[in-house]
């Protein structure tokens, strides 16, 4: 069981600098199970720890694993230029924890965005070797045709790629609606593949990653949730 001093615990959870965390503790703002703890040197077991800070409860988490239902007109970058960043949709202390998107969605793409502060998790989840399928619902400017689906499934050449890129699956969902499943996460990949196949993507939504669907998370646009170990296991493709 891991034990840490109270000031380190607060800092690790993103409540600010060590100095600021100590001042919160000194001021009696931190309690555990209804008891104020005002000695910042006190060592406390982190397993199952729930802190109350400014009357709000925070369960200790060594790492953050989050799913956000990204709305349109938010940028995934930590330094957004034209629209607010997705971090503005989350509690402020998550920014102090170096929370990052796992792969990016364009500013106008909606849907499931994973975020974490666990470097190896981010790396593994984004690695092309892992073959994590991402499921997109694309709205097309021109009607979907069997030829379009065939082209996307057999592979289209993008001008800066060494080889054609193919969708893992592709099915028509409506006259202008296509479900497309990709294992790679290249820049603007769905939009560029549709353009290369002679159509145009007018709206894009990511509905699932691996076996984890946005519907199952029951989030509204702009809402987020912590992912449980069972939900994280769904992100790994089955062998
Ligand atoms: N492909 C795109 O073109 N845009 C996204 O946001 C995601 C995948």
Domains of the chain (ranges; CATH) run: 3-59 (3.10.290.10), 65-128+212-233 (3.30.70.580), 133-209 (3.30.70.1560)
- Percent of the chain at pLDDT > 90 equals 85
Residue from 134, 139, 190 whose mutation best tests the ligand 1 pocket (most atoms within 8 A of CB): 190
pLDDT value of position 145: 97
Ligand 1 atom with the smallest distance to the CA of 192 is 3
- Catalytic hit among 7, 26, 106, 118: 106
Q: Is the pLDDT of residue 98 over 90?
A: no
Average pLDDT over residues 56-81: 94
Ligand 1 mutation pick, 135, 201, 204, 208, max ligand atoms within 8 A of CB: 204
9-54 per-position pLDDT tens digit: 999 999 999 999 999 999 999 999 999 999 999 999 999 999 999 9
The pLDDT of residue 148 = 97
Question: In the prediction, which pLDDT does 184 show?
Answer: 87
Residue located nearest, by CA, to atom 3 of ligand 1 = 188
Q: Reduced to 3 states, what is the DSSP secondary structure of residue 47?
A: coil
Tens of pLDDT, residue by residue over 180-202, are: 999 988 999 999 999 999 999 99
Instruction: Convert the pLDDT of each residue in 125-175 to its tens digit.
Output: 888 788 889 999 999 999 999 999 999 999 999 988 999 999 999 999 999
Count of CB atoms within 10 A of residue 119's CB? Answer: 11
């Amino acid at each position: 069981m891991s034990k840490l001093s109270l000031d380190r615990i607060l800092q690790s959870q993103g409540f600010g600098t060590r100095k600021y965390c100590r001042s919160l503790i000194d001021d009696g703002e931190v309690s555990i199970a209804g008891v104020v703890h005002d000695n910042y040197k006190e060592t406390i077991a982190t397993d199952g720890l729930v802190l109350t800070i400014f009357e709000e409860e925070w369960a200790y988490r060594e790492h953050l694993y989050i799913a956000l239902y990204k709305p349109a007109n938010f940028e995934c970058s930590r330094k957004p230029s034209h629209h607010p960043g997705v971090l503005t949709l989350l509690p402020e202390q998550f920014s102090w924890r170096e929370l990052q998107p796992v792969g990016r969605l364009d500013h106008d793409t909606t849907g499931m965005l994973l975020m974490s502060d666990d470097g190896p998790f981010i790396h593994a989840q984004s690695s092309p070797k892992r073959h994590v399928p991402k499921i997109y619902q694309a709205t097309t400017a021109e009607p979907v045709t069997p030829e379009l689906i065939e082209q996307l499934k057999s592979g289209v050449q993008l001008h800066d790629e060494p080889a054609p890129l193919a969708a893992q699956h592709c099915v028509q969902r409506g006259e202008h609606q296509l479900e497309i499943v990709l294992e790679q996460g290249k820049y603007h990949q769905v939009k560029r593949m549709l353009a290369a196949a002679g159509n145009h993507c007018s709206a894009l939504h990511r509905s699932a990653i691996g076996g984890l669907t946005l519907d199952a998370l029951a989030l509204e646009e702009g809402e987020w949730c912590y992912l449980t170990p069972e939900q994280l296991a769904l992100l790994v493709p089955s062998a």
